[in-house]
Structure 1
Amino acid sequence: TLWAQEPTFESSAGLVTLAGGIPNGSHVFDGIVTSITFRTRTPGGAEITFDQSNTSVHLNDGLGTSLPIAFKEGVFQISETTFITITSPTHPDENKWYKNNSFTVNWGYSSDSKYSYVLSEDQDEVPDNKPEYSEGVVTFPDLEDGIFYFILREQSADSEPWQVVGKRRVMIDSQPPLPISALVSQDDQLFGGKFFLIFSTVDKVSGVDHYDIVEGGSTHTYVDSPYVLKDQTRQSGLTVKAFDKAGNIRLQIVKEAGQQISESSQYTLLIVIICVIIILLLFLYVGTKSRK
């Protein structure tokens, strides 16, 4: 949409003004031109009308030909909604990430009411009007990682309308951060020439919360990269731990490239040395035999 006049809202006057169009026009029947969401302040009646003298729709015919419009008023009766408190024994803080992917919710159930609910990634989704047979407790097992919203709808009596009466958010991250990249390095221009550790990873869902370093028998918490080694002889064991915001942990035992040879590299080197010795022995044997 291109706005010839950006939408303006005058709450005190109860007035919305806008003017816009779509490049190349719109070829639809019963299409929605625009939508406006109103938030009420108090219960009671409300009426929405168009200013007919200042409202028009035009053809995309190069001339902007005005079309005839049939105006309809909207009359609404706004009632006060009583919200129900929704709690969760499995995920008690809806602003916190959890690794548990089985989500349970509770609410104050009334046998005189009917309830409908949905668990959705869209916090604005509205449950349908089909009653769910649950006495105030629902469990959603094996959820995927992400942010979900439990939305509860109630009909307090058969003659009453259905209303959304509560929402509850749950944030789940059951997987640890990705494998940690870690490297021990040394530069005469940095940290007085001392050895230091560079490390990093990412967590795709909740994000990395902090790192811990285990060096020798000591644990250093909430460490930033780069980390200057306490043991500059590099004889102590060195491990990096990455924690995401749900408490999942990724652990990486550091292999000091160029300083320590891994077990697999030791086997490879041993094979190479044996092959070299065999070749030298063959040369010595052939040379001795030739002289004879």
Structure 2
Amino acid sequence: MAKKANWKELMTLHLRAYIPALVAFLFLLPSPVFAAALSLSPTNASVRVGSTVTETVFVLSTDQAMNAISGTISFPPELLQVVSVSKAGSVLSLWVQDPTFSNADGTISFSGIVPNPGYTGSHGLTISIQFRGKRAGTAAISFSPSSQVLANDGNGTDILNDTNSATITVTSSASAPSTPPAPSTAEQGLLARIISSTHPDQTQWYNRPHAIFDWTNAQGVSGVRLGYDKDADGEPSVPYSEPLSHKELDLEDGIWYFHVQEKGSGGWGPISSYRVQIDTVPPLPSTVTFPQGTTTPSGSSITALFTTTDELSGIDHYQVAVDGKVFTVTADAGSRPYQVSAGPGAHMLLVQTYDKAKILCYRRSIVIL
């Protein structure tokens, strides 16, 4: 008589039947998308021959802590020359290679580390580069393909997947008027030129509330007046008996103006002002809707709409990932029907919304194609 299968044997047979399907299902699940970016700011600038302009390198790594950056930046040495490279305020605190540059080869190299637990954020200052214009022309500045951002995962995984380039337009110094009007005695040489290593572009939004300002005082300056407010034509009201040339401020969200006025032997000079735009609040959670639903016949695409608002700086762009494949969608395009295409089955849709201060928020949706 045939022996009856006991319950243990039956369970083993069932498991053997389902394990291949279970393994296949787990294999098809989307894995997390970890990505970092290196950016140059401002992306567009202009400088006259003989004058200087500053470009700042920032790192973005919002969904995975990073702990090391190795970068090489190229620039046209016939149009620009590097005056200095600054590490001030950098998120990198241990330097494998201090920033170096070659005006002969047109390269800047650096390599540094952020100790454990690493850096997570969307606007980490790395280095600041001061260029001087050499000859009129359009200079393109870019990262080399060998640049890396390594994850703080114990394996040194390279998570860099995006870099931007910057353009500096160098104009001829001869374009200045040959006989400018003579300034008054009090104004001669007393217009301070303010720069900021933390907020280098006055037209851009930043999510960094701590602002650093520097300026070079004219010869013979005996004191300064400083101030900050939300008035582009504001006047500084705090006098200093010493010719300060550095100031750090912690500012709230909004548009601010930092004012400097120098005092020389002939009196107070004109007021210099520097604009700073700060937004530390993420966009409101985005709404992802599917006007035709989330299921379609096999081979068809699904229509998606992304809508959200950012009360201060405004929406800059969306990053859309379908099962790990990333696409960039402009703010205008996001409000129009966007076609999501993938093969049959369940898929993960990840929408990252960036405002103009490079702050993001997430929105995940499951779509069935």
TM category (shorter chain) comes to 0.5 to 0.7
Tell me if the contact between 2:286 and 2:362 (Cα under 8 Å) persists in the aligned partners. yes
Moved over 6 A (4+): none
Read off the aligned partner of 2:229 and give its amino acid letter. Answer: S
Q: Give the deviation of 1:165 after TM superposition.
A: 3.8
So what's the TM-score if we normalise by structure 2? 0.44
Do residues 248 (structure 1) and 359 (structure 2) align?
Answer: yes
Which of 146, 151, 160 pairs up with 2:259? 151
For 1:201, the equivalent position in structure 2 comes to 308
So what's the TM-score if we normalise by structure 1? 0.54
Q: Give the deviation of 1:80 after TM superposition.
A: 4.2
Do residues 136 (structure 1) and 245 (structure 2) align?
Answer: yes
Alignment: residue pair count: 180
Q: Give the deviation of 1:98 after TM superposition.
A: 1.1
For 1:283, the equivalent position in structure 2 comes to none
**C-alpha distance in structure 2 between counterparts of 1:241 and 1:129, whole Å:** 43
Which of 210, 224, 229 pairs up with 1:120? 229
Greater gyration radius? 1
Note the residue ranges of structure 1 that are not aligned, 5 or more in a row: 1-40, 45-76, 261-292
Structure with bigger strand share is 2
Per-residue Cα deviation, 1:175-211 (whole angstroms, up to 9, x for no partner):
2111101122317xxxx97421111111111111111
Tell me if the contact between 2:287 and 2:306 (Cα under 8 Å) persists in the aligned partners. yes
**C-alpha distance in structure 1 between counterparts of 2:328 and 2:364, whole Å:** 16
Tell me if the contact between 2:290 and 2:302 (Cα under 8 Å) persists in the aligned partners. yes
Do residues 97 (structure 1) and 198 (structure 2) align?
Answer: no
Q: Give the deviation of 1:130 after TM superposition.
A: 2.8
Do residues 228 (structure 1) and 335 (structure 2) align?
Answer: no
Tell me if the contact between 1:240 and 1:252 (Cα under 8 Å) persists in the aligned partners. yes
Calculate the aligned-residue CA RMSD, in Å: 3.0
Tell me if the contact between 1:126 and 1:164 (Cα under 8 Å) persists in the aligned partners. no
Counterparts in 2 of 1:244 and 1:204: CA distance versus 1, 3 Å? same
Q: Give the deviation of 1:88 after TM superposition.
A: 0.8
Note the residue ranges of structure 2 that are not aligned, 5 or more in a row: 1-179, 294-298
Q: Give the deviation of 1:89 after TM superposition.
A: 1.1
Q: Report the secondary structure of 1:162's partner residue.
A: strand
User: Which structure is higher in RCO with an 8 Å CA cutoff and minimum separation 6?
Assistant: 2
Q: Report the secondary structure of 1:84's partner residue.
A: coil
For 1:217, the equivalent position in structure 2 comes to 324
Tell me if the contact between 2:192 and 2:262 (Cα under 8 Å) persists in the aligned partners. no
Structure-to-structure mapping, 1:1-292, within 5 angstroms: 42=181, 80-82=187-189, 83-109=191-217, 112-128=221-237, 130-131=239-240, 135-141=244-250, 143-157=251-265, 160-186=266-292, 194-222=301-329, 224-225=333-334, 226-231=337-342, 233=344, 235-254=346-365
Counting aligned pairs with the same residue, the percent is 28
Counterparts in 2 of 1:124 and 1:112: CA distance versus 1, 3 Å? closer
Structure 1 range deviating more: 193-202 or 241-250: 193-202
